Structure 1
Amino acid sequence: MTIEIKICGISTAEAVLAAAHAGASHLGFNFYPPSPRFVSPDRAAELAAITPASVKKVGVFVNAEDAFLAEAVTKSALDTIQLHGKEAPDRVAEVKARFGLPVWKVLSVETANDIDAASAYAEVADLILFDTKTPKGALPGGMGMGFDWSLLDGFDKSVTWGLAGGLTPENVADAIRATGAPLVDTASGVEAAPGVKDVDRIAAFCKAALDHD
C-alpha cells in the first residue's frame, strides 16, 4: 500500500525542504490565526514558491469566510482546501464549487457517532480526515491527542480518507497497520515546541510511515 504523508503547520523554509526531502506528499499551511502554526497568505506564498511541484500544498481553514479563502488560495497557489471547523456538508460543496479545488473535511472523533458523521460528507468532500476531538475551548487540532483507532473498524473505507490526531514517529507505523490509513497527517508530532518543526522528527515520521510494513 502506498502511503501519503501530510506534514501540517509548516511555517519555515527549512521545514518545507525537510518534509519534501523526507518523502511527504502534502504540506499543510495553517491559516487559522489563533494557532501557533498560523501563517499569513503572504508568508504561505513565500513557502509555496519553494515547495517542489511534486508536493501538494494544502490550506487549512477553520470556518473561514470566502474573501479570506480567496486570498489564501490565490497567493499560495493551493492545491487543496482543508476545512477544519464546523462546516456543514452544504458549505463544503459550496467551497468546492466556488474555488474548483479538492476539499478535505476534518471530522473530530471521540465516539463512534463521530465516525458515522462521515456519511453526510462522503458525496461532497474529496477526502475525510479523522482527527481527535479536542476539549471545549481548545484549538481544533494540533494538540498531540489521539483517539481510539478501533472506532474506525466499522467505517466504509471505500471513501477516501486519512488519519490524524496524536501521530508521531513512534506510533505512525502502528497506526497504519491498525487502521489501514492511506494518508497520515501530523503537526505537533514532529515539533520541538508548538509551531516549531523538528527536521529530524519530520524525517523519522516519514521513514516510519513509508516503512510501516
Structure 2
Amino acid sequence: MYVGFKRMYIQPLTADNKANGDLIVIEGKQNQGATTTAEITGLSKEATKVAGSDVVYYISRKGVGDVKSDFGVLDMPIDAEDRILGHKVSTSGISYIGSDTEAPYCAVLLESQDAKGDKAELGFFKGTFAKDKENLNTLDPSETYKPEAETYTFSAAASDAEGAQNGQYVARYAGKDEDPAFKEMETQLVVDKAAVPSTPATNGAAPKA
C-alpha cells in the first residue's frame, strides 16, 4: 500500500537508454509543478482459460497487460511539458504541435511511502507521455479560483537494456533510505538524483528549434 505521492522524476532517454538532458523533478516547489495522483494499470495479464477433459485444464496468465499510468499533475512547467511531449519550440519560445510531434522515450520514478512509513519507490524503465486535451474554463467572479490537475498518460514499454531489468516494465522497492536497493533500482532506471539541475526554474527546458 502506498501512502502519499511525494514526487516524480522524469528522465528523457536516448536511443541507447542513456540520459538525454536534465532530469525533470515534479515535487511541489513553487511554480515547478506538483504531483496529485498516479493510477497504474495493466500490471496483470487477463487470464485465458483453456478447457480439456470437460474441465478448465490450464489458465494462461504469464506476463502483463497494457501497462500504463495516468498521472495527475498541477502546474507542469511548460518547458518540461514541451520536452516530454515532443513539442517543437522556436528560438522565441513558441511551442508547436503538429504532424511531426513525437514524444521521446522517458524513464519515470515515483516516490511515496508504505504503510509503515518507510520510503517506497516505483519506476517505469521506458515509455512515452501523451496529453490528449487542453481545457479552458470561465472564471466565476463569485468563487475563489482553485486549480485542477491535468492528466498525462504514460504508456510503458519493456526495457531493452542489459541487466536484470531486460524485458521488465516496472520496478518497485520499499525500505529504509539507506538501503542499497534504492540506488541499484535508480541506476537501472537511469535516474540520477545527484544530477538535479542547479537552476530548477528551467526544470529541463526543451531544446530550441
Q: TM-score range by the shorter chain?
A: under 0.3
What TM-score, normalized by structure 2, do the two folds share? Answer: 0.28
Which of the two has greater strand per residue? 2
What TM-score, normalized by structure 1, do the two folds share? Answer: 0.27
Which of the two has greater helix per residue? 1
